[in-house]
């Protein structure tokens, strides 16, 4: 059976008050499920919703409306996100037999979802973790694994889209990572 609640919307505000109001407006606008709505560092507010594409689109239009746009940091809508996106939020990626990992760190939460979805759909890599804003000064990062050449290709591809938005902080590629690095994932 196809999951009809598959689309994902991400809204990121630099104001907790505006973010909470926008989250309420978004939920009242369309039949969407709330995945996450919380204050994060440094005083930002992030909202993740999922649902049918038409409902997510309508809700996102409300969340990015003129009333909320002054404090909007970034936003994205993924019409058909790869299942690894949701798994990455739960740190449920496979950490066995890793040849290489790539890490991309951005200044915004929404941009990391766009990057993660794009790379996992277009290159043979696996998402290990997506971490968003809380406890990391409002930044976000994705950790993914694969063959070294695939990890390098993913990083280069992802950098282009994030650099255009001015949101790239840093990237790293680690060949043959020490298994002790994964102790936090277990």
CATH code where residue 115 lies? 3.30.70.1710
Cis, bond preceding 42 (omega within 30 deg of 0): yes
Question: What pLDDT was estimated at residue 185?
Answer: 52
Say if 152 falls within a structural domain: yes
In a shared domain, residues 131 and 179: yes
Instruction: Indicate the number of domains in the chain.
Output: 2
In tens, the pLDDT along 129-166 reads: 898 877 777 789 999 999 999 999 999 988 887 888 88
Question: What pLDDT was estimated at residue 2?
Answer: 44
Say if 2 falls within a structural domain: no
In a shared domain, residues 102 and 42: no
C-alpha of 73 from chain center:
14
Question: What pLDDT was estimated at residue 31?
Answer: 96
What are the Cα distances from residue 156, in Å, to 68, 78, 133? 33, 21, 23
Query: Which of 43, 63, 78 is where one domain is finished?
Result: 78
The H or E element containing residue 177 is none
What's the rounded Cα separation, in Å, for the pair 131 and 112? 9
A 10 A CB-CB count for 131 gives 18
Say if 1 falls within a structural domain: no
The residue segments making up the domain with residue 134 are 83-185
What residue spans of the chain are helical by DSSP H? 16-29, 53-63, 66-69, 83-89, 109-122, 148-165
Cβ distance 18 to 45 under 8 Å? yes
What's the rounded Cα separation, in Å, for the pair 12 and 165? 15
In a shared domain, residues 30 and 93: no
pTM summary value: 0.85
Residue numbers of the chain with a pLDDT score lower than 50: 1-2, 186
Rg (the chain; Cα; Å): 16
Cβ distance 115 to 171 under 8 Å? no
């Amino acid at each position: 059976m196809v999951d009809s609640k598959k689309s994902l919307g991400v809204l990121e505000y630099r104001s907790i008050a505006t973010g909470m109001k926008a989250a309420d407006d978004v939920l009242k606008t369309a039949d969407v499920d709330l995945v996450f709505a919380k204050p994060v560092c440094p005083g930002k507010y992030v909202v993740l919703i999922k649902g049918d594409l038409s409902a997510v689109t309508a809700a996102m239009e409300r969340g990015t409306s003129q009333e909320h746009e002054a404090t909007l940091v970034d936003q994205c809508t993924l019409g058909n996100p790869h299942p690894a996106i949701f798994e990455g939020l739960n740190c449920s990626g496979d950490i066995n037999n890793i040849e290489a990992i790539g890490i991309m760190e951005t200044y915004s939460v929404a941009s990391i979802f766009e990057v993660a979805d794009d790379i996992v759909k277009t290159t043979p890599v696996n998402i290990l973790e997506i971490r968003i804003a809380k406890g990391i000064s409002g930044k976000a990062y994705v950790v993914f694994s694969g063959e070294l050449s695939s990890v390098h290709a993913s990083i280069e591809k992802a950098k282009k889209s994030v650099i255009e938005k001015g949101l790239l902080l840093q990237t790293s590629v680690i060949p043959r990572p020490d298994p002790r690095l994964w102790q936090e994932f277990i």
